Structure 1
């Protein structure tokens, strides 16, 4: 499914987002969403349907480029160690090498400040 072939119902958007989530994050992403089930299931739904189904699947950036952006943002935010761990694994899933991930974090540190 592409941006031009957008799912329209709530269930379709969730199912599509779940497919994208599995491609990008594998089991780690599903665990994050599952952990929200007792706390805030609607947030879990929106992460899957909107963040992955609508945003991650847009054609403007390749999945590896999206992960580079995500790694940079999580580094800039700070305090996102759990999410950073998930997205380092996602970066590996979508084709980034360990050396590229290390280099992206080093590059981010220049702009985010070195602790």
Structure 2
């Protein structure tokens, strides 16, 4: 934790500010979907994931999203999370072409099936935002 003196509520507030700056309804929907079954997991995603990690000064939001897209692609089986972070990537200023480039690069290290699954997630998000066809 960057600030050991920060309270639970302060960490959550810091995380919500970061989440608000990156995500739209999809990101918030993830947290809300946990309220009735795993509220502590939702709290930790916000307080630790966004408040302590994504708020760090070492990388810009665009760089963090590039890393996240690459990792989620490599992991496989993370289509829902990819969709949320593809949207977040667009929100922080990445272009659809840059996002597709991540998946092309990922194919070299993760394989074509995982890259194709990531592109399918991108197609869904891009279509919802009226960004297809790409030039």
Q: TM-score, normalised by structure 2?
A: 0.79
RMSD: 1.6
2:32 corresponds, among 26, 29, 34, to 34
Q: For 1:14 and 1:100, how far apart are their aligned partners in 2?
A: 31
Structure 1 residue runs of 5 or longer lacking an equivalent are none
Q: Are the equivalent residues in 2 in contact too, given 1:7–1:16 (CA < 8 A)?
A: no
Q: Are the equivalent residues in 1 in contact too, given 2:2–2:52 (CA < 8 A)?
A: no
SS of the aligned residue for 1:107 comes to helix
1:50 corresponds, among 39, 42, 48, to 48
Look at both structures and tell me which one has the larger radius of gyration over its CA atoms. Answer: 2
Q: Are the equivalent residues in 2 in contact too, given 1:88–1:101 (CA < 8 A)?
A: yes
**Structure 1 residue 5: deviation in Å?**
6.6
Q: Are the equivalent residues in 2 in contact too, given 1:24–1:90 (CA < 8 A)?
A: yes
**Structure 1 residue 26: deviation in Å?**
2.1
Return closer, same or farther for 1:77/1:4 CA change in 2, 3 Å cut-off. closer
1:19 corresponds, among 2, 17, 35, to 17
**Structure 1 residue 4: deviation in Å?**
6.8
* Aligned counterpart, 2:133: none
Q: How many residues in Structure 1 have an aligned counterpart in Structure 2?
A: 113
SS of the aligned residue for 1:39 comes to coil
Q: Are the equivalent residues in 2 in contact too, given 1:72–1:108 (CA < 8 A)?
A: yes
Q: For 1:6 and 1:109, how far apart are their aligned partners in 2?
A: 40
Greater relative CO (CA pairs within 8 A, separation 6+): 1
Q: For 1:48 and 1:7, how far apart are their aligned partners in 2?
A: 18
- 1:61-93, CA deviations, whole angstroms, 9 ceiling, x for partnerless residues? 000000000000000010100000000000001
